[in-house]
Chains A and B, each alone.
Chain A
Amino acid sequence: MIRIALRGLLSRKLRTSLTAFAVVLGIAMVAGAYVLTDTINKSFNTLMASAREGTSAVISAESLVKNGSTSDRPTVPASLLERVGSLPGVERAYGVVETESARLIDAKGNPVGPAGPPALGFGRDASTIGQKDAFKIVEGRWASGPSEVAIDIASAKKAHVSAGDTIRVEGSGPLERVRVVGLLQWGSSDSLGGATMAVFDLATGQRLFGLAERLTEIDVDAKAGVSPAQVLKEIKPLLPAHARALTVDEQIKEDQSEWASFATIIRYALLTFAGIALFVGAFVIFNTLSITVAQRTREMATLRTIGASRRQILGGVIVEGLTIGLMASVAGIGAGIGLAKLLSALMGVIGIDVPRTATVYAPRTFVISIATGIVVTLLASLGPALRATRVPPIAAVREGSTLPRSRFARLRPLVSGLAVAASLAVIGTGLFGSFAQASQRLLALAAGCALFFIAVALLSSYFVRPLARLVGLPGSILGGASGKLARENAMRAPARTASTAAALMIGLALVTFVSVLARGLTRSTEVAIKKQVSTDYVIRAKDNYSSFSNATATTLARVPGVEKAVALRADTVIAYGKQAQISGVDPAAIRSVYHFDWKQGSSASLSELGRDGAIVMDSFARKHKLAPGDRFTVTMPDGRKLLLHVVATNKQPDFFPLLGKITVSQAGFDAAYRTNPKTTATVFLRTADGQSERVERSLTSALAAFPSVGLKTEQQAIDAQSSDLNTLLAMFYVLLGLAVVISFFGIVNTLALAVFERTRELGMLRAVGMTRRQVRRMIRYESVTISLIGAALGIPVGIFLAAMATTALSRYEVVFSLPIVSLTVFALVAVVLGMLAAILPARRASRLNVLEALQYE
């Protein structure tokens, strides 16, 4: 039987390949995800380890706040270096300063590199530079002295500078001009994930980064024969609070873990989309095998009459599925390796280079890819295989024999109804239930959606007739006989049309879902911002994220025409054991741009803020039982404590609050952050006569001294908020587009099989006078009808899911809004896909030899 199954596949090479292709793309993504992330991990791990060669222990300071602090990296006093250096077990200790905000500024005054990745700055001891790090000088030499720098090749290219040229750098203070004396690589790559890298000598780094007398790290070399553990024991007593020392191995592990989590995110993102692609692929395989089983009814029945058992028939179809799965997996792995290289190259093109050593092919990659491909096709072939066992031997002698209805067929409406109910219950639990971990919630949602898609696919065969009548209407009016026949053809095997359309439905539903949700988020942001702020201009960092110099507001305030320049300071502190945003506002000026929604208190409360007064958010106050007059303590990232008292409570939109949970006066904030001159998150500007070109010109020229910030109108600022979302949305479209492409092959398959099946009928139509053109048109209209049914199912399903998600998010004031233009585009895409899918089958149908087709048996 195995041999018969294989021979069968071999005799239908094209169809088999088209079927297999449905899984190839999904497996390619699985394999690609592993190869890419393994390679990234390996490269980083190798570099991280080599950069620490010779070092025994590393001292660094710990920040209490993980991510999101505007305060730069935590530091230890520089005096520690000397004390560590004179320990008996220490050969030598080296000081290092690092920052993430040493922005290089090109000749035109624009920041170098994309907004987003950090602008890394390093100050390194001249005697270790290039040895105890992953840097490699490629051209020129290392920096030594107060006005020299070595920068990465990618940044040099972007800034159009070469060794010997000067460039400006924005550290913690005003812009400084430095000479580029060398070009460097990190490992073997010209850049590091799009970040810019500027390497100074230690003293220059300390001065530029505002870290005089401070160090972010001390690297310790032990004397010969002294183990890292022993050195650590000597160092420990010297450590100040919030400083820590790790052996070199521990430190390497920690260095690596940061990058590992970066790679893990990429991996799971790709695997998620691979999962979607495989799910759609399973539909296509299920459908194709179902059709081929139906078409081979007589063949199966003949096998039964000559002694094949049901089990053998079952085995035959499963072997077919397994073979397709195995082939697809092998091809998918090949494609996946290519995909990994492509993605890696693509990352380089869009400016997030990562160092690449030799590509890593872990055995695990192959095992998982092949196992996944086989399991998916096996599951998809189970249904058709079971159906094949129901072929009765007597079908061998009956022409046009159809399969008997399954015993469970009449239960189908009930089963699909229950499946819809169950899937909605699971999705509902996922959205509204409480989960210990976000990943469990996501898993519940994913499982619920998968079940929902299957349930809709089951139900959809009941909708095929009315839908086909509806979407086929234009075709049947415009297309004459071809159009009418096309519509009837699409309706004559509703189950087949339904599951072909269902594959497309999944992709379109997901695309619709993200599109509607994104639209809702964008609208919510806009509503929330407009509710809180009325201003003429908004100044924010060009990356829409970093804090910038507090001098910006004072400079802008002096520009003629500016009535008020209101700065908003921001940072993250620890309150009641949790991270919380803290804001600093000018009590006198803030009211001119920000609308407070007081709960307890009034505008008068602002003048009572003083140095240690705080306005706290109502939800925060209720949670911690705070009322005006109460005192509470917050801990700053470096460990210092602030004692505050509540002056008033306010309400803010949950979705996009502009102020932190805690708001203090600017004076109080600046007193607490005395050493950090870059804590401004936003500056709001009110001008004498609103927005005008004249004032914009003077503002822009005033901002020349602050190249990393940008001027926007309120609306531009709102749009900028959604631009990150739009980038994400574009990525989703591309990745979900893969699922749509797979369903496209499903349509091609179904049509090709239908043409094959109707050979005699097509011959008859040609014989009674249908032209080739009409035949092609008939197939094309049928194809468009199928794809439009997919759209007619997918778009409402996507909207429905988005509506559910919006309801769940409504406590964050996310609104529901339909992106009509996008949805129209999706429907048009479906039409185009339908037309493209028809090309090959239509050509085949129109080229049938009439005589042969009529004699065809």
Chain B
Amino acid sequence: MQTQLESEPRAVVGSRPDLEPAPRSVVEARNLTRRFGQGETSVDAVRGISLDVPAGLLTAIMGPSGSGKSTLMHILAGLDRPTSGTVEIDGTEITTLDDTPLTKLRRKHVGFIFQFFNLLPMLSARENIVLPLEISGERINDAWLDELVESAGLAQRLSHRPAEMSGGQQQRVAIARSLITRPTVLFADEPTGNLDSRTGGEILELLRDSVDSYGQTIVMVTHDARAATVADRVLFLADGLIVKELSDTTPEEVHRAISETGR
């Protein structure tokens, strides 16, 4: 399965010549590879990927299990280090950063949404939402908090603990938590993976809203074909490489792309 990327490694996927002016890139990755293990049992999860994440858009990364999409996102987000290649977030090269500057960068520029929500069970919804501010020692902007709570529909749930909320509600809290710091880029790891399809759809809508209303940049790894309906563009991965890119696509196109690129 040859791709243009392999023959033209310097080509940048994601430039959108049809749109003018081209949006600024907030994440720039070059020649990423990631090898797990050593010797004969080693696995190359990412085999040479370069990409730009344009600001203010929702980029979805799709692909079958084992295609390397999660690994790619972990590297882009600074959770994992590539075997080779570079990643810049907001102009800062992160793959060589020490833990402390990386932590500082995370506070300012990066937000996370997880498949299993990852809320702190002993804190109420409100406390979970403002936790990143508390950790970085910043003041809470009440207007911003109110707006996030309002748009996530959590006004009645603020004093509830995670255990007292449905999965969808928990994920809304997680989204509000990730947006409270207005991060440069928000990484979502299978955000609908642990939700029923209706609730999952609502969560996708909420993410789309944050792009439309606040210009939030989002990178989302997902299995969910409906993600296509909310994504500005979709990157398809297979065997550690980007094999296809679609813009403003439909679920049907996505399904077709999956069956083409998949097994």
- List residues of B whose CB falls within 8 A of some A CB: 70, 74, 78-80, 99-100, 103, 106-107, 110-112, 114-116, 118, 120-123, 127, 131-132, 134-136, 177-178, 181, 189
Asked if B114 and A306 make an inter-chain contact with CB atoms under 8 angstroms apart, the answer reads no
The answer to whether the Cβ of A477 comes within 8 Å of any Cβ in the partner chain is no
Contacting residues of chain A (387-413) with chain B, CB-CB under 8 angstroms:
392-394, 396-397, 399
Which B residues touch A4, using CB under 8 A?
A: 120, 122-123, 131, 134
Asked if A7 and B122 make an inter-chain contact with CB atoms under 8 angstroms apart, the answer reads yes
17 contacts between A and B (CB under 8 A): A1-B134, A11-B121, A299-B118, A303-B135, A305-B79, A306-B111, A306-B131, A307-B106, A307-B107, A310-B100, A310-B103, A393-B78, A393-B79, A394-B74, A396-B79, A396-B112, A397-B114
Asked if A302 and B118 make an inter-chain contact with CB atoms under 8 angstroms apart, the answer reads yes
Which B residues touch A397, using CB under 8 A?
A: 70, 74, 79, 114-115, 189
Asked if A306 and B132 make an inter-chain contact with CB atoms under 8 angstroms apart, the answer reads yes
Asked if A307 and B103 make an inter-chain contact with CB atoms under 8 angstroms apart, the answer reads yes
Minimum C-beta distance from B23 to chain A (A): 26
Asked if B123 and A298 make an inter-chain contact with CB atoms under 8 angstroms apart, the answer reads no
Asked if B103 and A304 make an inter-chain contact with CB atoms under 8 angstroms apart, the answer reads yes
Partner of A308, one of B103, B111, B181, B189: B103
Which A residues touch B189, using CB under 8 A?
A: 397
Which B residues touch A309, using CB under 8 A?
A: 99-100, 103
Minimum C-beta distance from A401 to chain B (A): 11
Which B residues touch A396, using CB under 8 A?
A: 79, 112, 114, 118
Minimum C-beta distance from A297 to chain B (A): 11
Which A residues touch B127, using CB under 8 A?
A: 7
Smallest CB gap from A301: residue in B: B118
Contacting residues of chain A (301-326) with chain B, CB-CB under 8 angstroms:
302-310, 312
Max count, chain B CB within 10 A of own CB: residue among A299, A309, A857 = A309
Asked if B118 and A298 make an inter-chain contact with CB atoms under 8 angstroms apart, the answer reads yes
Max count, chain A CB within 10 A of own CB: residue among B74, B100, B110, B135 = B135
Partner of B177, one of A10, A298, A299, A306: A306
CA of A1 to CA of B135 in the docked complex: distance in angstroms?
7
Which A residues touch B115, using CB under 8 A?
A: 397
Minimum C-beta distance from A491 to chain B (A): 26
Asked if B106 and A305 make an inter-chain contact with CB atoms under 8 angstroms apart, the answer reads yes
CA of A393 to CA of B118 in the docked complex: distance in angstroms?
12
**Range, interface on chain A:** 20 to 34
Which A residues touch B178, using CB under 8 A?
A: 306
Smallest CB gap from B79: residue in A: A394
Smallest CB gap from B124: residue in A: A7
Asked if A3 and B118 make an inter-chain contact with CB atoms under 8 angstroms apart, the answer reads no
CA of A8 to CA of B131 in the docked complex: distance in angstroms?
14
Minimum C-beta distance from A307 to chain B (A): 4
Asked if B79 and A10 make an inter-chain contact with CB atoms under 8 angstroms apart, the answer reads no
Which A residues touch B103, using CB under 8 A?
A: 304, 307-310
CA of A687 to CA of B189 in the docked complex: distance in angstroms?
98
CA of A397 to CA of B189 in the docked complex: distance in angstroms?
8
Which A residues touch B78, using CB under 8 A?
A: 393
Minimum C-beta distance from B261 to chain A (A): 24
Asked if A10 and B122 make an inter-chain contact with CB atoms under 8 angstroms apart, the answer reads yes
0/1 interface trace, chain A 3-40, chain B, CB 8 Å (1 if under): 11001101100000000000000000000000000000
CA of A624 to CA of B247 in the docked complex: distance in angstroms?
107
With A397-B115, A397-B189: A307-B132 Cβ-Cβ less than 8 Å: yes
Asked if A11 and B135 make an inter-chain contact with CB atoms under 8 angstroms apart, the answer reads no
CA of A392 to CA of B81 in the docked complex: distance in angstroms?
12
Contacting residues of chain A (543-599) with chain B, CB-CB under 8 angstroms:
none
Smallest CB gap from B187: residue in A: A305
Smallest CB gap from B70: residue in A: A397
Minimum C-beta distance from B183 to chain A (A): 10
CA of A305 to CA of B99 in the docked complex: distance in angstroms?
12
Which A residues touch B80, using CB under 8 A?
A: 394
